[in-house]
Structure 1
Amino acid sequence: MSDDPDEPAARRRGLRGLLVDTTPLTASPAFAKLWTGTSVTQIGAQVTIVAVSLHIYEITHSTLAVSFVALWALGPMILAGFVGGALADSFDRRTVALVTAIVAWCSTGTLALIAFLGVETTWPYYALAAVNAASATIKGAAQGAILPRLLPTQLLPAAAALSGITMGLAVTVGPAVAGVLVATVGFSWTYLLDVVLFTGAFLGIMSLPPIAPDGRRRGIGIGSVVDSMRFLRRAPNVRATFVWDLIAMILGQPRVVFPAAGAIVLGGGPVTVGILTASFAIGALLSGLVSGPLGGVRRQGRAVTLAVAAFGICTALFGVVLLLASLGVDERLVAMVAVDDDSFIPANVVAIVLAGVALAGAGAADNVSAVFRTTILQAAAPDDVRGRMQGLFYVVVAGGPRVGDLVAGGLATLFALWASPLVGGALIFGIMLVLLRTARGFQRYDAHRPTP
């Protein structure tokens, strides 16, 4: 046992050492309030994301129209990532987070208002969803730059794990709550729930002290963005966190094949799609709950590489399940899944369970990777560029999966449903093996001496 009083609490022994380290919540009351408020807010945000999609579909009866929700939001989110990072490096970060929280809250309130008024024109919903997404991106960039000012470096992995738990919980609970509320009380009251839950964000942000960025400030113009790109060019460890994530998201994003897998390969229809979608989030949530040992990992760059490699393996295993299921189904493995009172869809239950396990493993590995990538980014980036690096993080998170959707959809169309997860997962694993040997600087990244 180390005698160092600053040794992370994650080095505890026994069951307590395995479970998520909650030390950040007691070490910093400001972080505890911010984390609590954000946790409540994220559930509401997921409720609104699902409600808007369901609402657009009810108005248009078009899946293509539903896809435009994400398309409308993508451009503003990417722009907001750059602008939000510059704002966080130029002004008080508490003020930036508070102002953008107010904008997001007003956009959600306007969604509820026009739903109560019975507006059935789609463009206001698209526009408000885009404003909401852009505001949340700027707020997230500011909060990401705030955390290293609230906690010591050795507690950042535990803080990232706690954030992963809240996101996993929100992605798991939010869509379910949205579905129940839309079916029982309608869209307007569902949006109103998010308006109420969003007050948690204000409680968290208002508890923060003023947090002005350290060092030289460049303003929010093009020069600020160029300056951040120059920093990234001479910061190989920070740059690697983005590159490794892009590799995983572009090559290992199988969610676009879920509907066809439920309809054609695995069976079960919408029920199967829901299981597959939830499995990834549940895996991330469970890995967060047993994330205690992560705080004791010193070679965090190597940990990122191994986690992404595990993500590739699990994604490839999902592809293997789809391949084997497509080759033929034993009638003894098939059950009839009800989709309404009079309709049943045959489902390969064993294959669905195996696919769910593989995706849960992918979600767990992705969450572990995110914990270390977030920690490296927050610890290694100097405070005067930390906001812009957090903004770029959101650009990668927003853009990478959408490019991955195109890659997966193209492979599925050209070859087969199993091709994108199997080939993509295998490529991810192979690339990580190569990077373990070639990217030696990142593999040697030392959490005790963080360098960009």
Structure 2
Amino acid sequence: MRSVLADTRPLRDPHFRRLWIANIVTVVGAQLTVVAVPAQIYQLTGSSAYVGLTGVFGLVPLVVFGLWGGALADVLERRTLLIATTLGLIGTSALFWLQAWSGAGNVWLLLGLFSLQQAFFAVNQPTRSAVLPRLLPLPLLPAANSLNMTVMQAGAIGGPLVAGALIPVFGFSWIYLLDTLALVPTLAAVALLPPLPVEGVTGSLGLSAVWDGLVYLKGQPVLLMSFLVDIVAMVFGMPRALFPEIAHVDFGGPEGGGLVFALLFAGIPIGAVLGGVFSGWVSRIERQGVAVLACVVVWGLAMVGFGAAVGLADTWRTPMLVAAVLMLVVGGAADMASAAFRTSMLQSAASDAVRGRLQGVFTVVVVGGPRVADVAHGAVAVSIGAAATAAGGGLLVVVGTVLAAVAFPAFVRYRVTTAVRTT
């Protein structure tokens, strides 16, 4: 069983362990807001197109501050930067609570706050990722990334379920307040980290540092390919902007939350958690390029199945709801494995002096892809419907991945050593 279950050796490091345990609480709170924002927008407007606008309002600050935040992480002391951005996230969550508690009911205010939150997240995330190789030996990075993703996705299960149950009863203000309080443990864990100055030659705070990071990345074709396949998977295959409409129109749930709404949002995270629990195999895979491609194809096929199940909901509502959630679970497990491999590739490939900038690009790609998908899926669904949009997007993922593999054979040939420390 030890070879099958998750590798827990990274938890022996006290700093990683504190961050990991704190995230158990924090990610649940964060997912409450992830669910509450589109639900509140849909309640205010009744339109998936407006829900899709979260992609635009999230993507712009994500790109700008993700790239610049990576440059900051290669210059400033990283512990201090983590403390500052975590405080910023706490403040924006409190503003979400204030707008809901005051009954402002303005979709543009909600989208503006969402943009501010994404700006703080875009600086925080690459800094956190750049810190990880300073805490752990490189061979343990796949296991550590799997543990982190398992916790994040577990929170993504609890968040939708709690939000779906509580929104109709208590309203949105309580959801945002819980998110605000849930960030406090992470602030404490970050404050207990040792000083983390950048090792080696550092960059600058200007745009030239961002450009230097992109030039460095240009010479890393395997990393570029890992970004490309993730963009294909997320832009074409992430149907989350359609979940409020599908829950209400196709499966008969209420507009502002409910059980079906929660199950749809929880499906992908459930799969990711199951994939993480049984992730002992990831540390033994040498052909990581092939593994990533296989996982992305499985993700695409799962989204085709999801769209097909939604399309048949009028005929067999309950069985098709089960099938739709099951397809999301399969997709989530595949995406977790793909993300663990791609993150480890990036963390192992760069020196500490440029790691923040590369993690900034990685954050833009990983989080930005779904934001683009929100806009695209929301707009296309207006014309052809949610079911056809989801299924067609999954098919494009499969085709795009196959074409990318043919165009970049070096990624298919990519191997790593799997030797790990056992004591």
For the aligned pair, the TM-score class normalised by the smaller chain equals 0.7 to 0.9
Specify the SS of the correspondent of 1:268: coil
| Deviations 1:373-394 (CA, angstroms, capped at 9, x unpaired) | 1111111122211111111122
Say which of 302, 305, 319 aligns to 1:350: 319
Counterpart contact for 1:20–1:292, Cα < 8 Å? yes
Matches for 1:45-444 after TM superposition, within 5 Å: 45-54=30-39, 60=44, 63=47, 68-113=53-98, 115=100, 124-262=109-247, 267-270=251-254, 271-322=259-310, 325=312, 329=315, 334=316, 348-409=317-378, 412-415=381-384, 417-444=386-413
User: 2:55–2:372: 8 Å Cα contact kept in structure 1?
Assistant: no
**Match for residue 2 of structure 2?**
16
Deviation at 1:215, TM superposition (A): 2.4
Kept in 1, the 8 Å contact 2:306–2:328? The answer is yes
SS of corresponding position for 1:219: coil
Q: How far is the alpha carbon of 1:68 from its aligned partner?
A: 4.7
Is the contact between residue 82 and residue 391 of structure 1 (CA under 8 Å) also seen in structure 2?
Answer: yes
Q: Answer with 1 or 2: which has the greater Rg.
A: 1
- Runs (4+) off by over 6 Å: none
Task: Quote how far apart the aligned CAs of 1:422 are.
Answer: 3.3
1:114 to partner: Cα distance: 5.4
Q: Return the alpha-carbon distance in structure 2 between the equivalents of residues 397 and 132 of structure 1.
A: 17
Whether the 8 Å CA contact 2:145–2:344 is kept in 1: the answer is yes
CA shift for structure 1 position 296 = 1.0
- Report which structure shows greater RCO (CA 8 Å, sep ≥6): 2
Determine the structure 2 residue equivalent to 1:448. Answer: 417
* Distance verdict in 2 for CA 1:354–1:65, change over 3 Å: closer
Per-residue CA shift, 1:141-164, capped at 9, x if unaligned? Answer: 100000011111111111111111
Deviates more, 1:131-140 or 1:65-74: 65-74
CA distance in 2 between counterparts of 1:319 and 1:114 reads 35
Amino acid at match of 1:193: L
- Equivalent-residue separation in structure 2 for 1:118 and 1:320 (angstroms): 39
Confirm or deny: 8 A CA contact 2:56 2:372 kept in the other structure.
no
Deviations 1:384-442 (A, max 9, x none): 11111111122112321232234445554555544334333333223433444542322
Local SS of the residue matching 1:448: coil
Letter of the aligned partner of 1:399 in structure 2? G
Going from structure 1 to structure 2, the CA distance change for 1:65 and 1:31 (only over 3 Å counts) comes to same
Identity %: 36
Structure 2 CA distance for partners of 1:277 and 1:107, relative to 1, 3 Å: closer
Q: 3-state SS of the aligned residue for 1:16?
A: coil
Q: CA separation in 2, counterparts of 1:199 and 1:223? A: 35
Shift of 1:99: 0.9
Q: After alignment, is 65-74 or 200-209 more displaced? A: 65-74
Unaligned runs of 5+ in 2: none
Q: Is the 8 A contact 1:238 1:376 kept in 2?
A: yes
Corresponding residue SS for 2:201:
coil
Contact 1:107 1:128 in 2 (8 A): yes
Q: Letter of the aligned partner of 1:89 in structure 2?
A: D
Per mean C-alpha deviation after superposition, the further-off stretch among 240-249 and 98-107 is 98-107
The alignment partner of 1:168 has SS state of: helix
For 1:261-296, what per-residue CA distance to the aligned partner results, in whole angstroms no more than 9, with x for missing partners? Answer: 4556x5434554443332222111111111111111
Residue type of the partner of 1:402?
A: R
Deviation at 1:72, TM superposition (A): 2.9
Are the counterparts in 2 of residues 34 and 207 from structure 1 also a CA contact under 8 Å?
no
Deviation at 1:225, TM superposition (A): 1.4
Tell me the amino acid that sits aligned with residue 23 of structure 1: R
**Does the C-alpha gap of structure 1 residues 20 and 231 become closer, same or farther in structure 2, counting only changes over 3 Å?**
same
Query: Does structure 2 conserve the Cα–Cα contact (< 8 Å) formed by 1:46 and 1:174?
Result: yes
Of stretches 428-437 and 91-100 in structure 1, the one that deviates more from structure 2 is 428-437
Tell me, yes or no, if the aligned pair for 2:271 and 2:332 is still in contact at 8 Å.
Answer: yes
Change (3 A) 1:424 1:184: closer
Tell me the CA shift for residue 223 of structure 1: 0.5
Q: How many residues matched?
A: 414
Say what the alpha-carbon RMSD is for the aligned residues.
2.8
